[in-house]
Chains A and B, each alone.
Chain A
C-alpha cells in the first residue's frame, strides 16, 4: 500500500512544516548514535561480582539459580530439579544442548520445539544481564522460542562468560553478529510469568512458566 505510505509521510511533513529531508540530512541522522547521539546512560550497579548482582535481580523477581562448574553437570542438575519438584524425568531440550549426556542422568529428552505437552523445557541463554537479573534468548533452529513459554518449568543454561552488566552490552554483541543480524525473536526474560489482573494480587504462572530456574555454568 504505497499510497498509504505517501499519504502518512506527507501529513507528517505538512505538520513539521517542511518537505522531505535531503540526502545529506538523512545521512547525518543515520550517522548518529541513537536519538541523542551520545553514549547510553547506564545506571550504576550495586557492589558485587556480576554473578552476585545477577542473582539478586533474579531472586527479586522469584527466579532461582544454581551454580555449576562445567556444562557436563547440566543434565544431572536438571534431573535434580525435576525430582525436587516431583516431576517425571522428562523434559523438552533445545537442540543447542542435545549433545549433553541426558541418558546418563536418567532423563528422556525430547529435542526441539514443544506444542505444550512438556512440563519442563531446557534452553540456553545467549546473554544474562546483571542489572535486572534478565536472560536474553535468541530464537533459531538451535533454540526454539516455544520452550521459553509453554512448559510450566523453564530451566535456562547461562554460561558465566555470557553475563553482561547492562542490556546495552548485549546489543553491542548482537551488532557484531553482522550478517545474521537480528533473529526473528529476542526474548528478554526477567523471572517467571505473572499477573496482577485480579484485584492486583500477584500470581505467578499466568500464561507462561510458573517457575524459572537458571543454571549458571562457570
Chain B
C-alpha cells in the first residue's frame, strides 16, 4: 500500500479528535496489558524462555542461508514448491502467477502481515480475482476498505455500531437484511457468509508464524480456525512468509509459541496451532493438491547487515503497541502504513524510507515500556534513537530542529560555557517568573501552553550546582 506516514502529524491530530476512535482505543488499552501480565505471572519460566527465544533467533539469523536452504529442500521433498521473492513486486507477481496457472477465480486469505506489506490483495484484485479475507477483523476492514490498525486485532478501532452498519451494507446481496446490534449475532452472520466462501474458494493464502527448517513445515496460529479452513479446503494453498520466520527445529518453534500467545493475547496457547508440510498425501481424503511457499526478502537482508538486525527477531505479537502510550493515544492508522506502534516505527522508515516516515521514530517518549514487554527483547527505543541519528545525518527533518540540536551539541561539548549559560538562565527565569513560580506564556513556544498548560519555572539554581553543594556536605 501507498505509505501515508509523511502525514503522521495531521493524522495524529485527527485521531486525537476522533471520539469514536478514542472510545475504541480506551477499551483496548488496559485489556491487553492486564491479560499479558496475568499470563506471564502464571509462568515462572517466562524470563528464561525469553532468553532462549533471543538465542534461537540470533543463532538462526547468523546462519540464515543454511536454515533457509534446509527448509526449502525439505518443502520440495514433501511435494511442495518454494518461490523466492527479493522484492514486494516479485512476491506479488509470483502469487498472481500461481493463481492464474491454477485457473482460480475465488481466493480466501488468512491474516498475513507480510501479505499486507507487499500488497498481495491489490495485485490479485487487479488481476481480476475475487479475494476474501477470512479473519473476522481483516474481513471487517476489507469491507471498510481500510488497512489494519493493529497487527493482532486489525479492526480494534471499529465499534460494534460501525461494524453492524458495514455488515448491513455488504450482506444484503446474500439475503441478510436484518440490522444487527449484538456481538454474537454479528459473529454468526460473518460465519455464515464466510462459510460459503471457504467452500467455493480455489486458492487459500495464509501467512506463517514460523517455518521449520528440519521438516519443511509452516506454522500458523489462529483463534478462529479461519487459517485452517483457508489452507485445507481449496485445491491450492499458498504460504507467504518473510525469510526471518525460519527456525531450525519444531522444538525451537515450541519455545517461541509459549511466548507468542502470552505476549499477544494473554493465552497460554492460541486455539489453533497448525503445522503444515506439503500438499495432500496419497490416500488423504482432504487437503490441497498444490502447496506453495513464497519466501520474501523485501529489505530484510539489508536489515540483517546493519544495526537493525535485532528487529528481525520480531515474532509479530503486538505487545509493544499494546503497551505504547503513543499508540494508545492515536491508534494504528496515524502511522500511515502496515505496521503501527513501536515495531512499526522501526520497520516503516526502513521499508519506505526516512524521508517518508521520519516522523515515526520521533513520535516516541523513550519510556522503554515496549522493550520491557518484547518477548524477544528487541531494544526498540535504541533502534528508534538510531533512526533519529540517521535522520539527522541525512539532513532530513525540520530545519529549526536541526539547528536547535546543533546548538545543543555545541553547548554540551563545551561544559564550562554550558554551566555558565544554564546558571544564568535558571536565575533569569526564576526572577522573571516571580512569586508564582510558573509561566503562562512564552515567545516561540505557544503550542506548549495551548489547552491551559503552565510551564513550571526553575527555582534559581541548576541541578549541577545543587549536586555539587550537596557533595561538599553543605546541603
- Is A200 in the interface zone, CB < 8 Å from B? yes
Please choose the segment from B116-124, B262-270, B451-459 that sits at the chain A interface, where 4 or more of its residues have CB less than 8 A away: B262-270
CB pair A205 B90 closer than 8 Å: no
A183 within 8 A of B: yes
Given contacts A182-B217, A207-B134, contact A190 B228 (CB under 8 A): no
Asked if A199 lies at the interface with its beta carbon under 8 angstroms from chain B, I say: yes
Q: Which of A173-218 contact B (CB under 8 A)?
A: 174, 181-201, 203, 205-209
Sample of 9 further A-B pairs with CB below 8 A, known A34-B56, A184-B276: A7-B86, A9-B69, A116-B195, A145-B228, A185-B231, A187-B274, A188-B272, A200-B153, A206-B191
Interfacial residues, chain A to chain B (CB-CB below 8 A): 1, 4-5, 7-9, 11-17, 20-21, 26, 29-30, 32-36, 40-41, 43-44, 57, 60-61, 112-113, 115-116, 131-132, 134, 139-141, 144-146, 148-150, 166-168, 171, 174, 181-201, 203, 205-209
Q: Across the interface, which residues of A come within 8 angstroms of B24, CB to CB?
A: 199
Chain B residue numbers with a CB within 8 Å of A12 are 64-65, 68, 243, 301, 304
Given that A1-B84, A198-B183, A199-B160 are known contacts, is A35 also in contact with B287, CB under 8 Å in the complex? no
Find out whether the CB atom of B84 lies under 8 angstroms from the CB atom of A190. no
Q: Which of B3-33 contact A (CB under 8 A)?
A: 24, 27-28, 31
A60–B140 Cα distance when bound, in Å, is 29
Question: 28 A-B contacts, Cβ less than 8 Å apart?
Answer: A1-B94, A4-B83, A7-B84, A8-B85, A12-B64, A20-B65, A26-B66, A29-B66, A29-B67, A34-B248, A34-B251, A36-B52, A36-B55, A41-B255, A60-B268, A61-B267, A144-B285, A149-B232, A167-B254, A182-B78, A182-B217, A188-B275, A191-B271, A197-B140, A199-B27, A206-B187, A207-B224, A207-B226
B residues near A168, Cβ cutoff 8 Å: 251, 254
Q: Sorted from nearest, which 9 A-B pairs have the closest CB atoms?
A: A208-B225, A15-B305, A4-B84, A206-B224, A197-B137, A11-B301, A197-B136, A35-B56, A186-B275
Residues of B within 8 A of A188 (CB): 269, 272-275
Query: 8 Å CB contacts to A: which residues of B223-281?
Result: 223-226, 228-229, 231-233, 243, 247-252, 254-255, 257-258, 265, 267-281
